[in-house]
Amino acid sequence: MRPDLEHFLRPLRMDVSLAHHLAREFRQTFKYLAAESLEQFLPTPISDTILRPAAGSEKGRYLAIDIGGTNLRVGFIELLGNERATGTAKGVNGSGKANGDTSQTTRLRRVLEKSWPILEHLKNEKADDLFAWIGACIAEVVQDGSERFTLSHEQPLPLGVAFSFPIVQHKLSEATLMSMGKGFAITSNLDLGRQLLQGYEKAKSQNLPPIRIAAIANDSVATMVSFVYQAQESPTRKASMGLICGTGCNATIPLRKDMLHRDKVPTEVGVTDEDNGEDVKVAVNTEWTINGTAPTLQKHGLISEWDSKLDAECDKPGFQPLEYMTAGRYLGELGRLILVDYLTKQLGFAENALPQQLLHRYGLSTTFLSRIKPPDESNLVETLQTEFPVTSTEFWWTKETAMALYEIAKAIEVRAAGIVAAATIGLLACAGDLPLREPLAETSNQTKPLNGSGSQKELIVGYTGGCIAHFQDYLADCQEFLDQIIEAELGASPPVRVVLSACHDGGITGAGVLAGSSQARAASIS
């Protein structure tokens, strides 16, 4: 890297030492947010008995939807219980290899699934209009399901819902929508279940069955539910956490009820009498990117002037500082701001001489930035000339300017990977799954990692999202940071390893698993 460019990108620095200190700081931040914040670390009425249901009790076919920041998915999920369908699947393998593929058995199938982009005009509509469109999409899939599965017109279909926005829940089948963000104009205090039912009723024909909201969860919670359901756990392997890093970034982990602010604890938790104790763990949607994490980032000098500029120009300035630094909706724009700054301030080009697309917000997409390779390995100069045509004789794409863009992309990615790895370590330590050395005064609150012999334990983190999977070397670098932070904390032969394992499509499959678990719960009670 050119010395001037290396110096210019220093505000994006990330190394193991910084990530290690950040992880320790995040542990304290997350513990505080769990106990004090009413906007973050939002518990879901899902205990370990729902996360790890009795094998086979949830067997059946369930309607599921996943409402994301960019796409809507609707389909049927078939839960096989004790039966397993053999096939080739990605992740959930505990192999110790990030993003590993393996031939394995699975406890579920996805059938009759359809997907639609959520267009910008839909995001700007009133709630009734948006959910009327969602209801029409559900009705389309139910129509297909009625023809294929000969569904009863009178018997309500249990629906599991995954939702990629903050929600407040006191019952598994009910949720109140908080402020959405991600470009959606809808504000807060909407009854999500009611909106979905009304939208479907408007769209359905008389020959379609009604639907019943069986379960609602944030998509990160649903990802963890799906991951745990499919994982092959053992005394030395635990499915510990769900991670989303796509359009947005979020994580879910089980935490003890007594760690949470009293006003956040759901009124109905659990599926058995054994779940009544205060030490029962519930699935917590951390919303870890919301502004409660900003002091930690500021303390370690991680918020650069480019981050501040991107934040200030967002729809909700200050709302999700960690997401602006780690997630797919924003990394392309961050790269554009840095590139324009470098071309004008370091290389001396006039701003009005630059390609016009580079001067418009989000003119450089995250997808484009994620895939570029160094000029020596690709025809990057020609690609840039096509993607960002030059209209001035005072600027031109060269190998030097192309290499600068690649180095900017890599610096953004490495910093993001380090932040996500540090947050993951901090969250696992907060939950008591990972024994960090400090602070010593609080060791009584910590649980030991997995029981077992002297062999190394694995804490498996189920991840999903196009950003972590495809943006440069995000996934591999995140795994490397995880390994190096653990080694810095616990030594060269640590007793535990944190392993990233793919759990793609976890939102919609987790929604189906939750619908099945809620049915099993109702059957056991009756």
Where are the domains positioned within the chain? 1-36+247-262+285-449+474-492, 44-236+504-519
Quote the CA–CA distance of 91 and 111 in Å, as a whole number: 20
For the four alpha carbons of 70, 76, 82 and 83, in that order, the dihedral sign comes to negative
Cβ distance 211 to 200 under 8 Å?
Answer: yes
For the beta sheet containing 167-168, the strands, ordered from the edge strand earlier in sequence to the opposite edge, are 167-168, 176-177, 190-191
Backbone angles phi, psi at 98, to 5 degrees: -65, 135
pLDDT digits (tens, 9 = 90+) for 387-415: 999 988 999 999 999 999 999 999 999 99
Q: Can you give the pLDDT at residue 83?
A: 67
In this prediction, residue 44 carries a pLDDT of: 85
Hey, what are 57's tokens?
A: 């009790």
C-alpha to C-alpha distance for 307 and 353, rounded to whole angstroms: 24
Q: What is the DSSP letter of 192?
A: H
Q: How far apart are the first and last CA of the chain?
A: 67
Within the chain, which residues score under 70 in pLDDT? 53-57, 82-105, 125, 179-188, 267-278, 438-454, 520-526
**Would you state the pLDDT for residue 451?**
46
User: What pLDDT, on a 0 to 100 scale, did the predictor assign at position 221?
Assistant: 87
Q: Please name every residue paired with 75 in a beta bridge, in sequence order, or none if there are none.
A: 64
Residues composing the chain: 526
DSSP of 107-148: SEEEEEEEEEE--HHHHTS-HHHHHHHHHHHHHHHHHHHHHH
User: How many C-beta atoms surround the C-beta of residue 359 within 10 A?
Assistant: 12
Alpha-carbon gap, residue 378 to 372, rounded angstroms? 8
The C-alpha atoms of residue 226 and residue 414 are separated, in whole angstroms, by 28
Cβ atoms of 342 and 5 within 8 Å: the answer is yes
| pLDDT at res. 376 | 86
Supply the DSSP symbol for 334: H
CA angle 483, 486, 488 (to 5 degrees): 105
Q: Please, which residues have CB within 8 angstroms of residue 294's CB and are 6 or more apart in sequence?
A: 303, 318, 321, 322
Which position has the token pair 């192309």?
A: 402
Local structure of 494: helix, strand or coil? coil
**Could you give the CA distance from residue 294 to residue 311 in angstroms, rounded to a whole number?**
12
Cα(504)–Cα(513) distance, integer angstroms: 15
278: its two tokens: 């205060």
- Return the pLDDT at 127: 77
The CATH number of 1-36+247-262+285-449+474-492, from 3.40.367.20, 1.10.10.10, 3.30.530.20, 2.40.10.10, is: 3.40.367.20
- Other CB atoms within 10 A of residue 393 CB: 7
Q: Do domains 1-36+247-262+285-449+474-492 and 44-236+504-519 have the same CATH topology?
A: no
Residue 182: predicted pLDDT: 54
Whole-angstrom distance, CA of residue 162 vs CA of residue 44: 12
- What fold, for 44-236+504-519? Nucleotidyltransferase; domain 5 (3.30.420)
Give 370's contacts (C-beta < 8 A, 6+ positions apart). 328, 331, 409, 467, 470, 471, 472
Q: How far apart are CA 313 and CA 330, in angstroms?
A: 11
Q: For the residues of 436-492, what is the DSSP string, one character each?
A: -S--GGGGGGPPPS--SSSSPEEEEEEEE-HHHHHSTTHHHHHHHHHHHHHHHHH-S
The SS3 assignment for 52 reads: coil
Burial annotation 210-230 (CB, 10 A radius, 16+ → b, else e): ebbbbbbbbbbbbbbbbbbbb
**What radius of gyration do the chain's Cα atoms show?**
23
Distance from C-alpha of 306 to C-alpha of 327, rounded to nearest angstrom: 15
| Residue 179: per-residue pLDDT | 61
Separation between Cα atoms, residue 364 and residue 51, nearest integer Å: 40
Q: What's the token pair of residue 30? A: 């997350």
